[in-house]
Amino acid sequence: MVSTHPIGVQHAGSQYLPPRRNTSPNQELLPLTARVNSHGCLEIGGCDITTLVQQFGSPLYILDEETLRLACQQYRDACKQYYQGESQVLYASKAWNCLAVCAIVASEGLGIDVVSGGELYTALSAGVNPEKIYLHGNNKSRSELNLAIASGVTIVVDNWYELKTLVEIAQESAENSDPQSIPIMLRLTPGIECHTHEYIRTGHLDSKFGFDPNDLDEVFTFVSQQSALNCVGLHAHIGSQIFERQPHQDLAQVMVQWLQDAAKYGLNVTQLNVGGGLGIRYVESDDPPSIDEWVKAICEVVQAACIEANLPLPKLLCEPGRSLIATACVTAYTIGSTKVVPEIRTYVAVDGGMSDNPRPITYQSQYRAVVANKMSAPLTETVTIAGKHCESGDILIKNAQLPKTEPGDILVVMGTGAYNYSMASNYNRLSRPAAVVVANGEANLILQRETYQDLIRQDCLPERLKK
């Protein structure tokens, strides 16, 4: 075992600051187990990144199990500390849904928020308790609803079409002498704005998600008349990558008012889901609240509002995604070609790009990177990290500060656990990368790298086109 020292933020030259071990993972750039070994190479989870690339290839997603587990524990323990009632943390698995991730978060006592039949099937296959699974989505198919009902998960109803479809399914079930009692939550649009990208704001009134608050009376009346629907709770979500605490505090207060309104219609609503949305630190200038601070703010407002309204404390649910998984993962690439545009820019190309990380081209998202095999080298170059796809906009990072690079160097992009693999594509017929989970010096494959055969597996060639 080589000797190592901890790293955090890389500054000019080869200086590294150790991360705060008691920190909230969402406030760090690298996974908490990141180290530089005596060879000047980056290690995560006790595994040398360059060795991992030699073994598993690149691009490669590398998930640090310790960082993911710590984030789960901080959410879970903060809810228990600051909330006097019952609570349940759910992992918003759209951030990254696969068997291994679902199994890890479930083992820490978290439930799972899913948004499709595929995510639901994966969570169930990973052994997650159906009573801790909540199905979201603004246009669930009848087959997805049937799977949810058969599995015994809670359905977060988003609109009138879905509400009436569930009643139809229940009526059909009753006609077949199999009456259903379907647990549901109602998703409502709170009309709360927050400072984040337009595409990831979901709480403002002009959103495709949730019932309009002006329809509450009609919705509550309808649900109260449906014996097959068991309305257990209310749900709202205001967006993602949020650094402000006030919008979430406002949301909690609004939701308690909704809770009070629901009681007037005889609805026994016992759960309140305040969503997620806590941001992470992608670059040095990002300054998100800690997990503990976010949970504390939510719990205090809900409790105070319930006391003022003379309501019993509901079961409090929250559904973080990005702030649980993003920092726990990095992506390793192999550097290839370089193009120097005199007095303008130097492009350094890697063997991946927008197919394994579509967030920069979609949201103009910013990332940080280091060269895993040159961690002790001085930062002498300002370059633009380009992907290999046939798109001028396939740029991962502009103005990255790196040491002098060469073909074959291993570039590591930080904070890629959320919405990277889950939004990955086969654009230009690139195969999706492999993923490994690392812990205590051991790396285990959790997603196999796609092959060329995988790319054509679903293709069909009509006989008349065959030669």
Q: Is residue 466 part of a domain?
A: no
pLDDT tops 70 at residue 19: no
Residues 307 and 430 reside in one and the same domain: no
Residues 181 and 221 reside in one and the same domain: yes
Q: Which of 9-13, 91-95, 337-341, 450-454 has the lowest mean pLDDT?
A: 9-13
Residues 284 and 376 reside in one and the same domain: no
pLDDT tops 60 at residue 16: no
| End residue of a domain, out of 325, 341, 374 | 325
Q: Is residue 94 part of a domain?
A: yes
The phi and psi torsions of 336 (rounded to 5 degrees) equal: -120, -110
| End residue of a domain, out of 293, 325, 357 | 325
Residues 321 and 336 reside in one and the same domain: no
What mean pLDDT value characterizes the chain?
A: 90
Q: Is residue 28 part of a domain?
A: no
41 in catalytic set: no
Domain carrying residue 156: 66-325
pLDDT tops 50 at residue 3: no
Catalytic residue among 231, 306, 390, 460: 390
pLDDT digits (tens, 9 = 90+) for 305-328: 999 889 999 999 999 999 999 999
Residues 76 and 221 reside in one and the same domain: yes
Residues 255 and 174 reside in one and the same domain: yes
Residues 247 and 361 reside in one and the same domain: no
Burial 172-188 (b: 16+ CB within 10 A, else e): ebeeeeeebebbbbbbb
Beta strand 229-235 with 271-273 is: parallel
Q: Which of 103-107, 192-196, 207-211 has the lowest mean pLDDT?
A: 192-196
- Mean pLDDT for the stretch of residues 76-97: 97
pLDDT digits (tens, 9 = 90+) for 400-442: 999 999 999 999 999 999 999 999 999 999 999 999 999 999 9
Q: Is residue 93 part of a domain?
A: yes
* Confidence tier at 213 by pLDDT (50, 70, 90): confident
Residues 289 and 413 reside in one and the same domain: no
- Mean pLDDT for the stretch of residues 210-223: 91
Give the pLDDT score at 245.
66
pLDDT tops 80 at residue 50: yes
- Mean pLDDT for the stretch of residues 437-466: 97
Q: Is residue 16 part of a domain?
A: no
* Confidence tier at 201 by pLDDT (50, 70, 90): very low
Q: Which of 55-59, 101-105, 166-170, 261-265 has the lowest mean pLDDT?
A: 261-265
Residues 142 and 192 reside in one and the same domain: yes
Give the pLDDT score at 197.
38
| End residue of a domain, out of 283, 306, 325 | 325
Residues 314 and 334 reside in one and the same domain: no
CATH code at position 207? 3.20.20.10
Please name the residue that has the structure tokens 């790009």.
Answer: 353
Give the pLDDT score at 11.
33
Give the pLDDT score at 287.
92
Q: Is the CB of residue 72 less than 8 Å from the CB of residue 319?
A: no
Beta strand 182-187 with 133-135 is: unpaired
Give the pLDDT score at 192.
56
Residues 240 and 354 reside in one and the same domain: no
Q: Is residue 259 part of a domain?
A: yes
Please name the residue that has the structure tokens 């291994």.
Answer: 100
* Confidence tier at 250 by pLDDT (50, 70, 90): confident
Q: Is the CB of residue 277 less than 8 Å from the CB of residue 288?
A: no
Of the candidates 356, 361, 363, the residue with the CA atom closest to the CA atom of residue 423: 356
pTM of the model: 0.92
Q: How far is the C-alpha of 31 from the C-alpha of 33, rounded, in Å?
A: 6
Q: How far is the C-alpha of 385 from the C-alpha of 366, rounded, in Å?
A: 12
| Distances 410 to 270, 348, 371, 373, 403 between C-alpha atoms, Å | 51, 12, 6, 6, 12
Q: Is residue 464 part of a domain?
A: no
CATH code at position 389? 2.40.37.10
The phi and psi torsions of 323 (rounded to 5 degrees) equal: -70, -10
Residues 387 and 280 reside in one and the same domain: no
Q: Is residue 461 part of a domain?
A: no
Q: Which of 182-196, 344-358, 370-384 has the lowest mean pLDDT?
A: 182-196
Burial 292-319 (b: 16+ CB within 10 A, else e): bebbbbbbebbbebbeeeeeebbbbbbb
| Structural domain count, the chain | 2
Please report how the helices 246-263 and 216-224 are oriented relative to each other, as an axis angle in degrees rounded to 10. Answer: 50
